[in-house]
Amino acid sequence: MIIRRIKDDLAGWMLNRVVWVADRGFNSVANRAYLQSGGGHYVVAEKLRSASSDAKEALSRPGRYHKVTGNLEVKEVRVKEGARSQRFVVCFNPEAAERDKQVRDNLVEYLESQIKDSDSWTKPKRDELAGKLRTKPALWRLVRRDDDGKFQIDKLAIAKEAKLDGKWLLRTSDQSLSPCDLALAYKQLLEVERGWRDTKGSLGLRPVSHHQQDRIRSHIQLCWLGLLLMRVIENGTGDTWRNVRNELDRMHLVTMETKDGRFSQRTAITPKQAEIFRDLKIREPGRYLDFEGTLEIIPAHRGSRSNTTQMSKRVHFPY
């Protein structure tokens, strides 16, 4: 219903002929057919583990990957021929493959600790462990039970999972876009989803504690501006907003009381903080910010000490 509603709304704006990029949750035969109506096209992700027969064939096809960016490689696969031809793009990220392998190794290590000595357990106790593992598909797919109900690490399943490390699969109806363009289009979708997560999480889009429409709009617009600032910082520094924020959080403003008054001074800037300001072309904040105390004012002309006056004054030091 969501796909149909959005597409019908766009038709009123004369935007029928577009290329839709969708996640695997929207991938169905009916949705793909509807997205192609009116001359449109789609780029949708395929489920790797419960894929269709066409997708499984695409994953099993040998072929050479072509580098798109530093950590993204792609290869094009066509399944079937003629009118039934299906175009797939297999995407591979070597860095993600390393992470996937490390996560799987950790899961196997955890499973081995859980099923250790389980052969001597009673059947009800083993069934209880099986029930807990079933609630975690990432664990359950790596273990199997024999006819006696005993647990074993499924090495065949581990080898099968290893073939999927760092990969994702795209299906498209568009014949004009290159495999590189298709992969980058889907990565843009991932960036959009990351933007929503950051807006709801780091920027606190929800809950909205407002009741008037103008205040609600203002709240959302401020969150959007915050997201824009986060992306500007990430693009400028080449680092994540979380790392930049954690580094800048180490800078503190200290207020000190002296016999002459009170003043505020920031802590010394670390080399990493200086690098962030330099990358963003931002001037470092002033070392001394405020001074509030008693100043002695001495006239420029010669005179007795009695001409000297004292006054309380607040002075702002920008540097």
Going residue by residue through the chain, which has 319 residues, state the pLDDT in tens, using 9 for 90 and above: 666 777 677 666 556 567 888 888 888 888 888 888 877 889 999 988 876 888 889 988 888 999 998 889 999 999 988 777 889 999 999 999 999 999 999 999 999 999 998 989 999 999 999 999 999 999 999 999 998 889 999 999 999 999 999 999 999 998 889 999 999 988 888 888 888 888 888 888 777 777 888 888 888 888 889 999 999 999 999 999 999 999 999 999 998 888 877 888 899 999 999 999 999 999 998 888 776 665 454 555 555 554 444 444 454 544 4
Are the beta carbons of 241 and 247 closer than 8 angstroms?
A: no
For tokens 């903080």, what's the residue?
A: 273
Q: Point out which residues pair with 263 in neighbouring strands.
A: 256, 291
pTM: 0.63
pLDDT of residue 2: 67
Are the beta carbons of 13 and 6 closer than 8 angstroms?
A: no
Q: Amino acid identity, residue 86? A: Q
Shared-domain flag, residues 176 and 82: yes
How many degrees, rounded to 5, is the angle at CA 44 between CA 136 and CA 82?
A: 125
pLDDT of residue 91: 94
Shared-domain flag, residues 112 and 210: no
In this structure, the strands spanning 41-46 and 19-22 are parallel
In whole angstroms, give the CA distance from residue 1 to residue 140: 33
Are the beta carbons of 169 and 58 closer than 8 angstroms?
A: yes
Shared-domain flag, residues 11 and 83: yes
pLDDT of residue 93: 93
Shared-domain flag, residues 18 and 129: no
Shared-domain flag, residues 102 and 146: yes
In whole angstroms, give the CA distance from residue 193 to residue 199: 10
Shared-domain flag, residues 13 and 89: yes
Sheet of 41-46, strand order? 19-22, 41-46, 167-172, 86-92, 72-79, 66-69
In whole angstroms, give the CA distance from residue 131 to residue 116: 17
pLDDT of residue 311: 43
Shared-domain flag, residues 78 and 22: yes
Contacts of 291 (CB under 8 A, 6+ apart): 261, 262, 263, 264, 314, 315, 316, 317
Shared-domain flag, residues 235 and 287: no
Q: Which domain holds residue 212?
A: 201-247
Provide the number of structural domains found in the chain.
Answer: 4
Q: Both ends of the chain: CA-CA distance in Å?
A: 59
Shared-domain flag, residues 89 and 225: no
Shared-domain flag, residues 57 and 32: yes
In whole angstroms, give the CA distance from residue 2 to residue 8: 10
Shared-domain flag, residues 176 and 47: yes
